[in-house]
Structure 1
């Protein structure tokens, strides 16, 4: 299933949508409401285990998805935390889903993972944490990713490499111009 941000999925690249069984726009307000709605839709369709990933985490690969799916056999929830205090992957079983897990979370802060784990404890959920990931929110994150790219994300690596190279070139030009005018 693919939940996208926008009215229709028409503008999405074909290689994103080709294998998707269902393509739907996200529903809800903040990121928590949108994630809760995606889980609810999947569970309502009879899917017993659902893994939701962020689109700004190029280190997610098939191996990590398989690990998350396996972890849900004997854990109610699975997460891959991100270095900035959030998470880039969340997996839940249908019997462990609670809308409240997505409420009152300080989204876009370094407290997302800790607050979510606290919610899981309140619901009595057994949680498995997988590897910590880098999500790309800033230019510094792009540069960090470029230093240790995912070997399977060939297209992403090409784009990120080009962006980082252009940024370094611009920074070099800016330093030269500043030197000339000082």
Structure 2
């Protein structure tokens, strides 16, 4: 798939995901509920998220998958118009930056947040109309969404302590001197405790 260059105002949403493989996804969650249950959660959440946001024509949606050579027999889970692409190589921060680099207005979101809706993505792009970057904070101190406009740091994700409560604060330090906006806080699901908390919140 070809996209217009950086000068075009194309809005692109990238969903970062691991290819659904037993024992290779949601390992912290698998430690609490088992590898097969974790895989089912991963597949169901990825498919539901792609359906919730991928049909909206206000932006182009890509699912960026690692590892790059993973089998593609699961792409039938994705709605029409959502394309699967390989994640760039490098550590997590490098892969995120390289995936976002070609696009002038771009959001990147995780695929393990059951609460994402099209309205959240629309709010993220609206925020980029008045700010240089936008973040969706997560309950654990990280973030479920990051977006950037044309004025962005050369190394936006340098020195980030991923999978810790410091991830958002570390990233924000790289955006010093730039206008930053925030959208609503959501809970990602990394552990069995997160899954229980999510269920309790849904019942409330």
The normalised TM-score by structure 2 is 0.64
Superposition RMSD in Å: 1.8
Alignment of 1:38-57 (within 5 A): 38-40=99-101, 42-43=102-103, 48-57=104-113
Question: Which protein shows a greater Rg?
Answer: 1
The structure that is strand-richer by fraction is 2
1:112 aligns to 2:167 (yes or no): yes
SS in 2 for 1:78: strand
Alignment of 1:76-155 (within 5 A): 76-93=132-149, 95-121=150-176, 124-149=177-202
Distance 1:76 1:53 in 2: 17
1:18 corresponds to: 80
Which consecutive unaligned segments of at least 5 residues does structure 1 have? 151-182
2:90 corresponds to: 29
CA contact (8 A) 2:107 2:124 kept: yes
The structure that is helix-richer by fraction is 1
CA contact (8 A) 1:3 1:23 kept: yes
Equivalent pairs counted in the alignment come to 141
The normalised TM-score by structure 1 is 0.72
CA contact (8 A) 2:153 2:174 kept: no
CA contact (8 A) 1:135 1:141 kept: yes
CA contact (8 A) 1:17 1:23 kept: no
